[in-house]
Structure formats: structure tokens, C-alpha cells
Chain A
Amino acid sequence: MASRKRADGDPFEVDRVIHEPARLIITAHLYVIDCADYVYLMQNTGLTWGNLSSHLSKLEAAGYIEITKEFVERKPHTMAKLTEAGRAAFDAYRRQMKALFADLPDETN
């Protein structure tokens, strides 16, 4: 069992803002693209508008994403983009998970 401390800290002290599955998939999408609107994120994450809105609010409160709300032809249009802090947090999370799972033996039986 991996219990040593890594350069990124204790492997069990994960960033819970990113670690939650719905937020992880949202962050992963925003990490690989530049920015996206709510419709795109709903289509690609399978989340409902309310769920998506709630998780995006949490990510925004953590300073990981930037949300721009505007009206395009009198219709609401919301764009979400990962901030530098969000990108850095996701990178740190990736390294932490990679290090954690790299410690597993090849065969567990």
C-alpha cells in the first residue's frame, strides 16, 4: 500500500474540488479544449443543466474556471474556461494520481 509522501503531498490528500467524478470530467474537457459553452459541456459530460451549473459554480468558487455570461441574439450564452490556477491544479492532480497508481504491483493476486 502506498503511504509515502510524494512531491505533490500526501497521495490521500487529493484536491476534492477536482476529485469529484462530475467535476473531474468537466475539468478534463476544459483542460484539453480552450473554452466551451454549457450546451457543449452538457452534451459531452452527460450532466443535466442544473447539475452542470452547480458543479461549475463550485469550480468557479475555487478559482479553477472562469465563467462568462452574455446574451447572444437575446438568448443566454455561458462560456466556461479553465483558469491558470485550474490548469495547475489539474496538472497536480494528474501527477498525484499517476504517482499513486504507479506504486501498485503489476499483479495483485
Chain B
Amino acid sequence: MGARLGLREIERKAWLRTFEHGLWDLAVGLLILSFGIGILTGLYWMTAIWVPLAVPVFRDLAKRLIVPRLGHVTFRRKRQRSTFRVQIVLTALAVAGLAMFLLTSWSTRGDAPSALRWMRTHMLAVIGLIWGSGLVAGGWAADFPRLYVYGALLFSVLLGSDLGLSYNMGEGLAGIGSLITLVGLGLFVRFLRKYLRRPEPSFEEGEGDG
């Protein structure tokens, strides 16, 4: 045990360990990648079917590969509150997406305020701001710092695309989606090598041992 390992560090280490397997990074990376590929190929349905297809696959991966290695742990009320905060962030993102859709529709009308027309002109930057803020807020809510970096990357790529840098939105999204997916894959492989499967012996074995 490290000399500076206090109770707070033990709790935080246990919490961060639940993100060490890289599945969350893989999920975020593949989602952004599917957006990018969808835009580049015109196959927008790819993104639409990704989430309902991926959720059971990721759940199964977690059940078969993560839990037997990491063990099962439930956290106290403070961390349960952070799960609630994540749900609030996701709801806020959905509401922001809907509001944006409505405002964009309104901005095409002649009587739309100039701010809305500006927003329509800089649609990519606004989308980047909303998605990037969503990831940052998710990182804050779940105490998962890598999401801050992913949020900043996403915003930068969409802002760059909006400012007319030499790539389009699809290429930018596919690029950072691939990068985040690779990070997730690297973490996943490292996790599988670091944590070996340690099945629990039957109840009779080990009783009174040690």
C-alpha cells in the first residue's frame, strides 16, 4: 500500500478503476466515428442504429470480461448522486438537441432574430459547443477526467470545420472518433493484460485458510 493512500484516495481509486477498462472510451470513440463515417458516406442510418446495437454488445462485454476481472462493487450515496448527475446531463443534452432543431427551423423564416441567423451560419461551431460541453459536463458529473479532453477535441474539430479549415466535418469527426477509439482499445488491451480473470472458489474451499 502506498504511503499516501488515504481513505479519500482509496475511494477515488476504486471509482476510477471502473473507467480503466476503456469500454467507455470505445463507446464514445465509435459513436463519434460513426457520425463521421455517416457524413462522409451519406449513410446516416449508421449512426441511428449504432446506439441500440452497441448497448447490448457493450453490456455483454462488461459482464463477460470486465466484472470477472475487476469484481463487483457498489458505491456510497455520493457516487450514486454522480450517476444521477450523468442522467441530468444526458437529459439536458437531449433537450439542447431538440431546442437546436426547433431554433434552426425557425431561423429559416424571414422574421427570425439575427442571433438565430448567426447561429444557423455557424451551425458546426454551435453543435461542437453543445456536444463538447456535454462531454465535459459528463466528465464532471461522472468524475471521469478523460471526457474533458474528448469534449475539447470535439469542439476544436467542429470549430475548425466551421472556420473553414482544410477538412470537412465528416473527416474531422472520423479522425477524432478513430483517435478516441484507439485510446479505448489500448486501455482495453492493457486492462485485459493487467487484470487476470480470478474466479471465486466454491464456498467450501478456502474456508479457514490463511
Which residues of chain A have a CB within 8 Å of any CB of chain B? 25, 28-29, 31-44, 47-55, 57, 69, 75-79
Contact = CB atoms under 8 A, between A and B. Distances in A.
A49 B74 contact: no
Which applies to chain B's interface (DSSP): helix, strand, loop or mixed? loop
A27 B195 CA distance: 23
B201 A35 contact: no
Contact of B210 (A25, A28, A53): A53
Which applies to chain A's interface (DSSP): helix, strand, loop or mixed? helix
B210 A51 contact: yes
Contacts of B67: 39
B72 A39 contact: yes
A35 B71 contact: no
A35 B205 CA distance: 22
B63 to A, nearest CB: 9
B8 to A, nearest CB: 8
Interface string B186-210: 0000000001001111110111111
Contacts of A57: 207-208
A45 B158 CA distance: 45
A33 B11 contact: yes
A76 B201 contact: yes
